[in-house]
């Protein structure tokens, strides 16, 4: 088992311009991932991971003002492969699904959170020289998924908005590849 904890940045969920441009996006948020990793052959490993994050959604206006729109939890389940690179880095590629779970049915979530969306992820991790027995590593993960809700479709947003997320975390555990 591997446990990762860190901080996540996400791009805008919605960008629009009624009178002035604005974005609706998650604030920096904590992220935790639990992964089951099974070693394969030749420095490869299969993994299944459950990713959890909870934070606030904010509206950012062009003039610089910010409005808190409530909390949202994201849950993602991915499956993928990890491989040890010659430089000592570990590279992971994964695909799966993500679901948004808002704390309130308001704003972009006023008609619900919509369906589960597909997600693709790549990560690079580097083992830290300390804590070798715990298999500590610093990991940078990038993922992308589409975001839409019934309320956005009702307002004329016909396609999902791509959301890019970066997560920097400390990872512990898992097999040594």
User: Token pair of 94, please?
Assistant: 């994964």
Q: With 70 as the cut, is the pLDDT of residue 77 above it?
A: yes
User: Token pair of 43, please?
Assistant: 């420095």
d(CA 140, CA 147): 22
d(CA 163, CA 26): 10
d(CA 139, CA 128): 10
Give the chain's domains with CATH numbers: 2-173 (2.40.160)
User: What is the enclosing helix (H) or strand (E) of 153?
Assistant: helix 150-154
Per-residue pLDDT tens over the stretch 41-72: 888 899 999 999 999 988 877 777 888 888 99
The pLDDT value given to residue 176: 63
């Amino acid at each position: 088992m591997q446990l990762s904890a860190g901080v996540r940045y996400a791009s805008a969920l919605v960008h629009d311009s009624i009178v002035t441009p604005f974005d609706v996006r998650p604030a920096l948020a904590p992220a935790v991932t639990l992964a089951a990793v099974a070693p394969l052959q030749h420095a490869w490993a299969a993994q299944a991971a459950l990713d959890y994050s909870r934070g606030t959604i904010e509206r950012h206006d062009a003039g610089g003002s910010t409005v808190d729109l409530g909390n949202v939890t994201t849950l993602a389940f991915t499956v993928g492969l990890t491989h040890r690179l010659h430089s000592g880095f570990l590279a992971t590629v994964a695909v799966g699904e993500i679901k948004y779970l808002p704390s309130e049915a308001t704003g972009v979530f006023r008609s619900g959170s919509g369906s589960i969306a597909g997600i693709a992820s790549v990560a690079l991790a580097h083992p830290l020289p300390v804590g070798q027995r715990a298999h500590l590593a610093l990991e940078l993960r990038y993922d992308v998924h589409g975001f839409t809700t019934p309320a956005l479709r009702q307002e004329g947003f016909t396609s999902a908005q791509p959301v890019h997320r970066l997560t920097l975390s400390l990872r512990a555990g898992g097999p040594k590849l």
